[in-house]
């Protein structure tokens, strides 16, 4: 999905329910989370919406798997080239060597096969080498630990996206 232009909280609070839901699904592609965020309107300030985002993100397996459907794989240069969230959040990956990108792709596949969902990490501001090292270290975890890790990373991504959206 592409990133909408920043809006004010007043615009979000006053928007039609389906429009507000689309905005929230662009932040985190999890239906029950988005519905709860829309139902919680109006928000008085960014701190309130960030608090609501934390409250409504259970980070359980069902929410996590649904949210993963809204993410490109780390190192997916085609997704980065399209712009939107991937370009902003994984921008440093675009400059990675072909060898590093190939290793990211291979380990992404291994991760997804082992855990049943994509490697999810808040990539913003992290170098390709750091993202690769994190991926390697997380491959040694149990699935239950990775659900916890990925859910925490999704929460960080959501916080970043909400902050950028509601300037």
Catalytic residue, from 47, 51, 56, 71: name it: 71
Cα end-to-end span (Å), the chain = 20
For residues 8 and 43, the answer to whether their CB atoms sit within 8 Å is no
Q: Look-up: residue for tokens 């329910």?
A: 17
Q: How far apart are CA 17 and CA 155, in angstroms?
A: 23
Q: Look-up: residue for tokens 């630990």?
A: 145
Q: How far apart are CA 117 and CA 29, in angstroms?
A: 14
Q: How far apart are CA 128 and CA 154, in angstroms?
A: 19
Active site residue 3: no
Cα–Cα–Cα angle for 69, 54, 3, rounded to 5 degrees: 45
SS3 content of the chain, % helix, strand, coil (to 5): 70, 0, 30
Q: Which residues are catalytic?
A: 71
């Amino acid at each position: 999905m592409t990133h909408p232009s920043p809006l004010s909280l007043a615009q979000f609070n006053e928007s039609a329910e389906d429009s507000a839901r689309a905005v929230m699904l662009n932040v985190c592609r999890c239906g029950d989370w988005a519905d709860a965020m829309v139902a919680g309107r109006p928000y008085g300030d960014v701190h309130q919406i960030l608090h609501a985002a934390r409250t409504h993100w259970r980070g359980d397996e069902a929410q996590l798997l649904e949210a993963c459907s809204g993410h490109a794989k780390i190192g997916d240069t085609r997704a980065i080239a399209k712009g939107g969230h991937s370009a902003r959040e994984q921008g440093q990956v675009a400059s990675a060597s072909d060898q590093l990108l190939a290793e990211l792709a291979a380990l992404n596949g291994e991760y997804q096969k082992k855990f049943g969902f994509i490697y999810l990490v808040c990539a913003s501001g992290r170098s390709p080498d750091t993202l690769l090292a994190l991926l390697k270290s997380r491959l040694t975890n149990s699935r239950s630990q990775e659900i916890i890790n990925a859910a925490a990373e999704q929460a960080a991504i959501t916080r970043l996206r909400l902050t950028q959206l509601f300037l």
